[in-house]
Amino acid sequence: MNSPVSAPKSNRVVLMFVAMLAVGSVAPFLVYPTLLMKLLCFALFACAFNLLLGYAGLLSFGHAAFLGGSAYITGYLCRDLGLTPELGVLAGGVFSGLMGALFGWVAIRRAGIYFAMITLGLAQLVFFLAMQMKFTGGEDGMQGIPRGMLFGVVDLSDNIAMYFFVFAVFMAGFWLVYRTIHSPFGQILKAIRDNEARATSLGYDVAKFKLLAFVISASLAGVAGSTKALVFQLASLADVHWHTSGQVVLMTLMGGLGTVLGPVVGAITLIGLENMLADKVGSWVTVIMGGLFVVCVLVFRRGLVGELNAVLQRNGLNR
Amino acid sequence: MEIFGVPSPAFFGQLLLGLINGSFYAVLSLGLAVIFGLLNIINFAHGAQYMLGAFAALLGLNWLGINYWLALVLSPLVVGAVAVLIERTMLRHLYKLDHLYGLLLTFGLALIAEGVFKNFFGVSGEAYEAPELLQGGVHLGFMFLPLYRGWVVVAALSVCALVWYVVERTSLGATLRAATQRPDLVQALGINVPVLVTATYATGAALAAFAGVLAAPIQQVNPVMGSNLIIVVFAVVVIGGMGSILGSIVTGLGLGIVEGLTKVFYPEASAVVIFLIMVLVLLVKPAGLFGKQA
């Protein structure tokens, strides 16, 4: 079997990573770092989500549970038990992975539309737990999470230091998703997405692959949530709300389903838009989000990156 | 008198509340099931249509002086008309695509509806008074029954029975069921399937609006009343499976009662009990209680 990545393409991939590193390193000196950190957290969240929907064809409408759940866990570990931030984030990822295994184990019994409804229900379960449990702070959220000292050495209360930590986490997550997609495992996921019956008949244990994809996705979404909790020093019910689950669907759809860079572009666009519009249109943001959903589904299903790829391909620039 | 250590008025009061919620679950999951059967779309806007029904009643009263009984007829018609528009201009283009796009589109529509109403009416909501005829209540000996609550259960169940009758026992229903299975063949027999599809979507939306009007005097009419409910109804649909009309009704009612009883015996779990049952059912019978494995 040939490697799925041909030689000229791999050059382009190196170029992509180098460009991302360059842009990411310069960005905090040009743009407000807190906004950038928010962008990166949501970009990682969307990448994790895209791994599931774009490559395994599973629409989870409950990914907020992983983002928000891990935010609480990391908050608790770092604030009340005094863990260092890198361990807090790691623990958040592990926690989400376990939760993902449990969710996946239940939800994978049904496909398609039911899968979406089940994940939504499970996430709502987590939402109510977060609302009722003592340690989450209920309606007030969990406040005053310390950013702490990275490895016990680097003080993350400095915004630039925090930014580079977040950027490193994002790049590691992005690279992991990239590697997963382009591995034989990723090829099998795509096969399942395109024709599940055929993948089964080829001897693949489809349920196992779906579950593993779900766990990886959940765990990365958790890492994004943990990081976000450290950045904003807050974990709140908004992070576990179904609204957030919908938001990540929109980001991925808008950027381009099943494209490597789509979710990143989608997250930057949507969060950037929200940030720009927040003080101008106030609470109309929800309406605009809904409108974008409708437009994306009706006329823009390939998303920004998908459309760009299509244009490049038409002009013979790609491949 | 006490039942399992709970004073009987409290016990039956919660049971009635459960029955009322169950009636709403039944009407809403019924609408979802009918729409899904023919359109293969999960209508995420169902909650929004329920909310719109309640608001249509409220605004009709405040602005035009339309009374409750008239609203019970007009609201579903208005919401149904909006649904026709949505189906004709948007949903229609998605039937050939993956089902998920229908879910996402209706999710977007739900966000728009919720957002618009939030902007104009805030989230706290407004009260809608029950009609004079149904104010007050009767003592049944073991509990006090507010008339309006009794009416809600009767009205909701009658509508469920009517839908069941139309779908299962009339020739229109037979056509509908045939079109659910083989739309191409039904079309070849000279029946206008696209119109049938539009009508089905409008009926489902109208059912949701009807439930919304029924709910208006019981709870505050507010923009988020639908989205909180629809997620529970999704769980109800997963538990029951969307295979049968009767199944939807029974599951909806049953889960409402279970939820009500949970409020009596272990109130902390009442918000999550339906989701827990969903998990249990998925582990034991993944296709749902009344569903066929797809």
- Predicted pLDDT at B133: 81
Residues of A with CB under 8 A from a CB of B: 59, 106-107, 109-114, 116-118, 120-122, 124-125, 128-129, 132, 242, 246, 249, 253, 283-287, 289-294, 296-298, 301
Mean pLDDT in residue range B59-85: 93
* Token pair of B83 as six digits: 């649904």
Query: Does residue B100 carry a pLDDT above 70?
Result: yes
| Residue B7, amino acid | P
Work out the burial of residue B8: count CB atoms within 10 Å of its CB; fewer than 13 is exposed, 13-18 middle, 19 or more buried: middle
The pLDDT value given to residue B1: 64
The first and second tokens of residue A34, run together, are 């807190």
What's residue A1's pLDDT? 41
Q: What is the pLDDT of residue A157?
A: 82
Which segment of A64-73, B28-37, B119-128 scores lowest on mean pLDDT?
Answer: B119-128
Q: What angle do CA A38, A226, A47 make, to 5 degrees?
A: 60
> In angstroms, what CA-CA distances link A48 with A28, A56, A90, A221?
24, 12, 16, 6
CATH of A32-314, one of 2.60.120, 1.10.10, 1.10.3470, 1.10.357: 1.10.3470
Low-confidence winner among B51-55, B118-122, B251-255 (lowest mean pLDDT) = B118-122
Cα A190 versus chain centre, distance: 19
Q: Give pLDDT tens digits for A233-263.
A: 999 999 999 989 999 999 999 999 989 999 9
Say yes or no for a CB contact (<8 Å) between B279 and A122.
Answer: yes
Predicted pLDDT at A317: 65
Q: What's the mean pLDDT in A120-127?
A: 92
Q: How confident is the model at residue A100, as a pLDDT? A: 95
Integer Cα distance of A66 and A221 in angstroms: 6
CB contact under 8 A, B112 and A117: no
Give me the pLDDT at residue B209, please.
Answer: 96
Partners of A301 on chain B (C-beta within 8 Å) are 97, 101
pLDDT higher for A280 or A85?
A85
Q: What is the pLDDT of residue B56?
A: 94
Choose the closest CB to B109 out of A113, A120, A294. A294
Identify the pLDDT of residue A318: 56
Please report the domains of chain B, with CATH numbers, ordered by start residue: 2-284 (1.10.3470)
Interchain pair B115, A286: CB under 8 A: yes
Of A107, A114, A287, the CB nearest to B112: A287
For residue B20, what are its two tokens?
Answer: 């009322």
Whether residues A110 and B282 touch (CB distance < 8 A) is answered with yes
Share of chain B above pLDDT 90, in %: 55
Interval B258-267: pLDDT, tens: 999 998 888 8
Maximum distance among all Cα pairs of chain A, rounded to whole angstroms: 59
pLDDT tens digits for A87-109?
Answer: 999 999 999 999 999 999 999 98
Question: Which residue in the set B119, B237, B275 is minimally distant from A284, CB to CB?
Answer: B119
Domain layout of chain A by residue ranges:
32-314
Q: How far is B144 from chain A (nearest CA, A)?
A: 31
Q: Is the CB of B286 less than 8 angstroms away from the CB of A110? A: yes
Q: Is residue B5 pLDDT above 60, yes or no?
A: yes
Q: pLDDT confidence of B104, banded at 50, 70, 90?
A: very high
Q: Mean pLDDT over all residues of chain B? A: 89
Q: Is the dihedral of CA A51, B111, A65, A40 positive or negative?
A: positive
Q: What mean pLDDT comes out for the span B209-231?
A: 91
Do B40 and B34 meet the contact criterion of CB atoms below 8 Å apart? no
A–B CB contacts, 8 A cutoff, strictly below: 118
For residues A160-188, average pLDDT? 93
Cα of B205 to nearest chain A Cα, Å:
18
Q: How far is B131 from chain A (nearest CA, A)?
A: 34
- Across A93-97, B78-82, B219-223, least confident range: B219-223
Cβ partners under 8 Å of residue A179, min gap 6: none
- Rounded to the nearest 5 degrees, what angle is found at the Cα of B62, between the Cα atoms of B149 and B150? 5
Q: Closest-CA residue in chain A for B241? A: A114
What tens digit of pLDDT does each residue of B136-179 get? 878 877 778 888 999 999 999 999 999 999 998 999 999 988 98
Q: Average per-residue pLDDT in chain A?
A: 89
Of the candidates A110, A132, A297, the beta carbon closest to that of B105 is on A297
CA distance A262 to A264: 5
Enumerate chain B positions whose Cβ falls within 8 A of a Cβ in A.
Answer: 36, 42, 90, 93-94, 97, 99-101, 103-105, 107-116, 118-119, 227, 231-232, 234-235, 237-238, 268, 271-272, 275-276, 278-279, 282-283, 286-287, 294
Q: How many CB atoms lie within 10 A of CB A196?
A: 15
Q: Percentages helix, strand, coil for chain A, rounded to the nearest 5?
A: 75, 5, 20
Residue keyed to tokens 């609203």: B71
What is chain B's alpha carbon radius of gyration, rounded to the nearest angstrom?
Answer: 19
Q: What residues of A are in contact with residue B283 (Cβ under 8 Å)? A: 106, 109
Distance CA A299, CA B108 (A): 14
To the nearest whole Å, the CA of A203 is away from the closest chain B CA by 21
pLDDT (tens digit per residue) in B227-256: 889 999 999 998 988 878 888 899 999 999
Of A254, A271, A281, residue with least CA distance to A53: A254
pLDDT band (50, 70, 90) for residue A182: very high
Predicted confidence at residue A152, as pLDDT, reads 77
The ipTM estimated for the assembled molecules is 0.89
Chain A residues touching residue B115 (CB < 8 angstroms): 283-287, 289-290
The residue count for chain A: 319
CB contact under 8 Å between B282 and A125, yes or no, is no
pLDDT at B58: 93
pLDDT of residue A8: 57
